[in-house]
Structure 1
Amino acid sequence: MKLLFIGTEVALKNSPEGIVSRSIIEGFIQNNWTVDLISPHMSINPRDFGINQHYTISTGFLFNKLQKKISGVEGGDFLKKCCGILEDINLADYNVIFLRSDPVSIHSIAVHINKKYGIRCVCSFGDVGSVNPYYSKMGIAQLRKKNLGAIEREVIASGNIITQTNSRSISLYKQNGFDVSRFFVLPNPIAHTSQGNSTIPVSESNYPKNIVDAYNNIASSTKGKQYNFAFLGSLYGDRKPDQMFKFFSQYENVSVHIFGGVRNILYEKKGFFYRMLKESGLKKIKEVAVKNSFNNVHIWPFMPMPVVSKLIDENFDAVINIDANFSPNPFLSSKVVQYISYDKPVINFSNTGATTDLLEEAGITYFVDYQPTIKNIPIENLLRTCTPSIDIKDRYTAKSIVGKFLSEINL
């Protein structure tokens, strides 16, 4: 069986969506599929994660991001160049053409394929599009909502298979009048587990010096502290750290370590503009911590998943998730799926929704909601209550989630 995978985020080394996209590709390969890839230039070798043939597209990154900021539609030159590449590929050779988006607009390529070649595609969404609660605000958000909704309705009407990361997202589309008869759940897979990797050295022989230095600094900074908690990811928009800092301010013996803090692209791209945005964003996080009377916060760069897994395995007592304050919450961050692989307590700041559904599956029913009253709970009780009691890791391996999806769409 042969797959053509089309995506933009897959090219980003430490982006959560990039990591997820590469894991899905690996899931197909583990299910004995051959995978060809169309994507922007990659800083990692595509053959290192099993790609058979890679078609590279150069993109105007800054222009595309500006376009998305205004209209909600990203990827203008990628879409055009991708359609050009398709002219030189025999699409009949593929059993499935699979498009994975963070930007919804990439699925316009599926409509092009439908009309020109008469082939249905799988359009896999890394997040909700026009039904995103972020777009409930007035002004430019309504323009984005309208543009994305038009793309989604055309993609659905063309008969393509649609995937979302969780059933809450599908319900939200149904509530907004979309035909969800060809929607399927394709969860984000576990990208890398800590199990069995504790003996892998983090040295300059297999990682750059800045990663090794950060690793050593983190390892030393967690020593002698009674409780060390880790948050992986970005804090932006309505995903804010205020509630977390306010909650942990009641404990004197807790350190919070944030890996990333701002969008990963600000670490990956070079230049004064990106560095300025990164420094400004990190400064705001520290100001919010002080405002909420919490001073024991450390911020580290995004790091490769094997390094993060090793650090969490050996140096941290719990991991933290922060969702945007939407109720019900339709978002299921890839980090939460990753967290269940660590067998560590998961302290979740959220409302009822996709995240709490997954954690309940693992036996964790407690979460810190967004009500104004902070509940005082002894730290030992908190950790015990937030520890997984049901092992669900095997359900969320890349091989498992892709295999289940393939059986459901009956290929």
Structure 2
Amino acid sequence: MKSWSHPAVPSIPGTGPIPQLFDTATGGLKRACSNSHASLYVCGITPYDATHLGHAATYLAYDTLVRVWLDAGMDVRYVQNITDIDDPLLERANATGVDWRELAESQVQLFRSDMERLRIIPPQHYVGVTEVIDDVADAVAQLLQSGIGYRVPSDDADDDIYFDSAAAAGVAWSLGSESGLDRDTMLTLSAERGGDPERPGKRDPLDPLLWRAERAGEPAWDSVLGRGRPGWHIECAVIALDRHEETITVNGGGSDLVFPHHEYSAGHVAALTGEPLAEIYSHAGMVAYQGEKMSKSLGNLVLVSRLAQEGADPRAIRLALLSEHYRSDWEWTDAHLSRAQARLEAWSRWAAAVEASDAAVDPLVTVLRETLSHDLETPRALERVDAHIAAGAPASAEAVTAIDALLGVRLV
């Protein structure tokens, strides 16, 4: 599937440090690169109600990581999926009377345009689930053959196929090894986030769906398993495996994916390969609005496209999102945008008077590199630029270029 156009990312003299990133699985910072290259898998959107600021904040976080990696001289391999077939998408299509395929395509196109507005670096591989149905079915068949997948009868269809969490437990994964959650919390989150812990016939209430047999009126595909469609977690496991040759450096997404999605994606990969999915499991915080988490179900969405239509400079939207640390939960207010616009104007005035510098590397460049390499501390990086300008330091070409390359904000 086509992604979106790549923004120009200028190079800065010298190289920055390899970043350290917070790992959910261990609860601490880890060096985000142990191979000759840096690899990233970020869970993409289910294409409806795109692109709200919660989406944008997540993809901006990993855009920052990619920029820091590139500045460190790393070869970056980035994959992102699109869940273009799933129950929530079908429910929205039925509620609005729109064909699910048309809804998905229109929302993916809107997402692409919003990513271009915000100058987000696209993945090299942008993969829809509907493009890998056969691959997913083959992987589920492999799990069935190994005894890690099992069949559960259905009253209105052929057998569904589930993942046996206990049978999959081993060196590379066991239930809770990625999320660190206790069983009671897992049961609660499973019921809230697309699981079916009450379904009879499962070996464990927490076992997730691998393959849903065809139901009347639902989309389905022919496969080695018969007609049906993939479960949620196996799709990301298969796409990550197909597009990466080894354990990936970072598996990223919103913190609402810690469990069950990332937990079971990791479990599926371990069961298929005997290796961990990722070295680091990274999660962005949730964005609230009007006192509640910004979500499709609540309808309290602030959309990037709507802000742009109302005249907001996309650079200001980007700065507003960068003003909060990617791992924090925070609430969007109009003040975020007004402060960001004022900051953009101040920075632009400063950059307009750019001067030649005799320094090998502008001190601000070093500060930005060091700040961002420590768990993507974007709020502190913005404050360092503010302080540099307030102190009367002249704008050098290197500093202005660094703001563009590392923060994605083009000033001149």
TM over 0.5: no
Structure with the larger RCO, 1 or 2 (CA within 8 Å, 6+ apart): 2
TM-score (norm 1): 0.29
Highest CA radius of gyration, 1 or 2? 2
